[in-house]
Chain A
Amino acid sequence: MLTYTIRRLILAIPVLLLISLIIFMLLKLAPGDPTAQMPLTIPPDVKEKMKEAMGFNKPLLVQYALWLRQFFIVEPLHWCDVLFGTHFATGLQRIISWQTRSPVFDIIWQRIPQTLTVVGMSYLIGVLIALPIGIVSAYRQYSWFDQIGTFVSMVGFSVPTFFTGVLLIVIFSVELGWFPSIYDTTLVVHDWASFAKQVRQMAMPVAVLALYNAAQISRFMRASMLDNLHQDYVRTARAKGMGERVVVLVHVLRNSLIPVVTVIALGVPTIFGGAIITEQVFKVNGLGQLLITAIYADDVPMVQTLTFIFAILIVLFNLVADILYGLLDPRIRYD
């Protein structure tokens, strides 16, 4: 298992390098002037100097290498400095956002808590809803519960999140006035009243995303339970005289959870990146919204860094899913 993990980690390096090259080239090959957004009052020769300072006159490969160096060497060194009070990164250029002129990673660090509370919470709730629904749907296949569950999950992943979000806003903010339609990030939770306010402003975005996540995971859970319910070992367990509860919740459930756990692991990167639309609808200023504003503002370093971080997360959690599969299922051995 350890050798397999190490081999996969080593294999991930060329994949990530290739992805970073794709992202870099996509942004570089795009037509358009990087200084186009600057005020027209800046004289052309100053503009040229700014371009030079940003490193646009160097060959593409050098620019790419410089970005990789900033991403993989300068930034970790900087965080090492912050944590341990060392001085490795003094004088080294960090990745700077063109919008705000501050380091990209500092801004990302500010945005992570919002994304994690809203999107992470919705993923958690989605999983917690999906598992029991999947189990009951499979155990009572074709019952009314299963039919409704199937329909709701079909609706859940057919109706786009921007429509459910807007619909909830129309109903609960505009008509009924129960929940605020805009997420207030400056709210500090210090007592019960502010906690209730936080819960109220989180309710709608979390509900939208939780429905979407639960729809997908409950389908996987149901299919996986159905696969296992008709296996011979289940009949053996029943023949041994075990109670129905033990058979379903211990024998079948534990085996069915194996593929579902990997599906859940594969979905984790979307917590960080995938909720772009929902964050935009409810004005949550998390990572997705950061990406959108950066794209609108032609902030190349920010877009590049964020997309690459999302790619790293996807590769990483693919690996985690494969390893989990091996750990949970003793029949699968990678060696």
Chain B
Amino acid sequence: MTDATMKADDLPEIAPPRSQWRDVWAQFRNHKGAMIGLAVLVVIVLFVFIGPLIWRIGPEQMPTDALTLIRSKNLGPSWGHPLGTDQLARDELARLMAGGKISIAVGLTAMTLSISLGTLVGVLSGYFKRLDGILMRLTDLFLALPLLPLLLVMVMLFRDTIAHVLGLEAGTFILIVSAIGVTSWMQCARVVRGEVLALKEREFVLAAKSIGTPPRRMILRHILPNVLSPVMVAATLGIANAIITESALSFLGLGFPPDFPTWGRLLYDGVDLMQDNPGLVIWPGVAISLTVLSVNYIGDGLRDALDPRIRGR
């Protein structure tokens, strides 16, 4: 506090008001880890989405005649294939790009689902006292479920049926995304509920209530914008969690089908060949780890940047 007043004295005139998001960005830029994480993530996203436009070899492309196929299996790095080839002579670099597309898509979609569910449950139980008891019991119940075993069971049992209805790729995608979303909303709900409970005691909420704001507009206009920061932090961590869960499922053979590369699936396929061709295991693993690590660092930086007690210090 004293620092701030002293600084104000030094200034000749009052500085123009700054928007909150510019402050957040300024604080975020001070977090070295978060900035490196952001840079790495941008590189990975560019690699995955722009890369295939430059690197024109397809992920499923194989030599057509048997002799070249056998000769170009499990190659080491070369100019033609910078990361080598896999057991079917497919280009590992192209497969890594294709796999990343799906892994990142799964991460984003599952995160959106789990954040929406979590925010919905959190706001409802924080705002409406009547719903609080039952919704929080539900949250506790979900927290007490053994999640990984249940995820495995869900995927195992419903995979064929859903794949039958929606097609193999779309079906598996929807199943995995919804399974991850449904089992990971609880932390977000708890945090949001806590924030909403605190917000409800604030004067501006009382003021809005006293001029007769209906609950729906109350939540949309006054509550939701104010719980944005914890939700954003939960969202970044949610992406990391979803990517790890998806690759764990794929690694256990219960994720995407073999011809549908994701980073977890590539790793799983590479395990049997790791004595001949360790690159098949290492590259997808490095990709998963780097993505999750950078997202976690960004989450860390966001948490600091969005916390008004830390910001401006």
Contact = CB atoms under 8 A, between A and B. Distances in A.
A29 B157 CA distance: 9
B247 A32 contact: no
Contacts of A277: 248, 251-252
Contacts of A166: 267, 271, 274, 281, 285
Interface string A18-35: 110011001100111000
B50 interface: no
Contacts of B144: 15, 19, 311, 314-315, 318
Contacts of B153: 26-27, 295, 303, 307
B285 A26 contact: no
B289 A158 contact: yes
Interface residues of A, number: 43
Contacts of B285: 159-160, 163, 166-167
Nearest to B149: A307
Interface string B150-162: 1011101110110
A168 B247 CA distance: 18
A306 interface: yes
A77 B288 CA distance: 48
A192 B247 CA distance: 40
Interface in A151-201: 151, 154-155, 157-160, 162-163, 166-167, 169-170, 174
A310 interface: yes
A291 interface: yes
A135 to B, nearest CB: 21
A280 interface: yes
A311 B145 contact: yes
B85 interface: no
B26 to A, nearest CB: 20
A267 interface: no
A207 B144 CA distance: 27
Contacts of B33: 150-151, 154
A160 B141 contact: no
Interface string A241-278: 00000000000000000000000000001000110110
Interface string B262-282: 000001000100110010011
Interface string A282-319: 00000000011001100000010011001100110010
B169 interface: no
Given A26-B154, A159-B292, A307-B153, A170 B146 contact: no
A269 B247 CA distance: 23
A157 B299 CA distance: 14
Contacts of A155: 289, 293
Contacts of B146: 269, 273, 307, 310-311, 314
A306 B153 CA distance: 12
Interface of A: 15, 18-19, 22-23, 26-27, 30-32, 150-151, 154-155, 157-160, 162-163, 166-167, 169-170, 174, 269, 273-274, 276-277, 280, 291-292, 295-296, 303, 306-307, 310-311, 314-315, 318
6 contacts: A15-B141, A163-B289, A166-B267, A167-B285, A269-B146, A276-B252
Interface of B: 33, 140-141, 143-146, 148-150, 152-154, 156-158, 160-161, 240, 244, 247-248, 251-254, 267, 271, 274-275, 278, 281-282, 285, 288-289, 292-293, 296-297, 300
List the 10 closest pairs (A to B, CB-CB), nearest first. A30-B157, A310-B146, A163-B285, A158-B293, A159-B289, A158-B292, A162-B251, A307-B149, A31-B161, A170-B278
Given A273-B148, A291-B152, 19 more contacts: A26-B153, A31-B158, A31-B161, A154-B297, A159-B293, A160-B292, A166-B267, A167-B282, A170-B282, A276-B152, A277-B251, A277-B252, A291-B149, A292-B252, A295-B153, A295-B156, A303-B153, A311-B146, A314-B143
